[in-house]
Amino acid sequence: MIIRDAKKQELEFIRKQRVEAYRDHVQAVPPEHWEALKGAISSEADSQAEVEVIVAEIEGCIIGSVVLFPAESDAYDGYVDKLAYPEIRMLAVDRKARGKGAAYGLVAECISRAKKKGYKYIGLHTGEFMKDAMKLYERMGFERVPENDFVPADDGIVVKAFRRAVKVGEMEN
């Protein structure tokens, strides 16, 4: 598996792949929430300056991606205060490629990049209905930061905040 930066011409494919990967959650949320989530993950937010789109590739095929927002950026359209550390967003792995370690590899790459830039922490937010994602993040050492939670729609669904210390000497690729 190769973990690398996405090429500009791959962004449209990556956005479509993201939506398909997140479709697993369509039954877990009200239709309005799904439409808002779909809009957020297929938007051009990943094209902002200093935002990094990272892909996992096997045999020339992109099987997953993640977006790393820089510290002090508005990664969530004003729902969360700007944070003093990078923020992982939009982790997605193609259904047919799950179980191959792509999600772990993509998150590990984000941690490594944050460490190389000298940050003490890296954060992320995930919908409370994304149980598998939360298990992965907790296994990788992310801890809850409930003061940064938010409810993007008026439907009671919480987007949970997590943060992880970035330590020197770990997650080296």
Summarize pLDDT for 99-155 with one digit per residue, the tens: 999 999 999 999 999 999 999 999 999 999 999 999 999 999 999 999 999 887 778
Q: Tell me the CATH class for 2-165.
A: alpha beta
Task: Tell me how far apart the alpha carbons of residues 92 and 20 are, in angstroms, rounded to a whole number.
Answer: 9
Task: Tell me how far apart the alpha carbons of residues 30 and 72 are, in angstroms, rounded to a whole number.
Answer: 31
**0.75 cut: is pTM over it?**
yes
Of these ranges, 73-82, 95-104, 163-172, the one predicted with the greatest mean pLDDT is: 95-104
Residue 43's pLDDT is: 87
Identify the H or E element spanning 127. Answer: strand 121-127
pLDDT, one tens digit per residue, over 22-81 is 999 999 898 888 988 898 898 888 998 899 999 999 999 999 999 999 998 876 666 677
Task: Tell me how far apart the alpha carbons of residues 130 and 148 are, in angstroms, rounded to a whole number.
Answer: 17
Listed residue (134, 133, 114) closest to 122, CA to CA: 114
Residue 168's pLDDT is: 60
Task: Tell me how far apart the alpha carbons of residues 35 and 102 are, in angstroms, rounded to a whole number.
Answer: 26
| Token pair in block for residue 4 | 């690398």
Q: Where are the alpha helices (DSSP H) in 11-162?
A: 11-22, 31-41, 102-116, 131-139
pLDDT band at 170 (very low <50, low <70, confident <90, very high): low
Largest CA distance in the chain: 44
Sequence-distant (6+) residues with CB within 8 A of 36 are: 152, 153
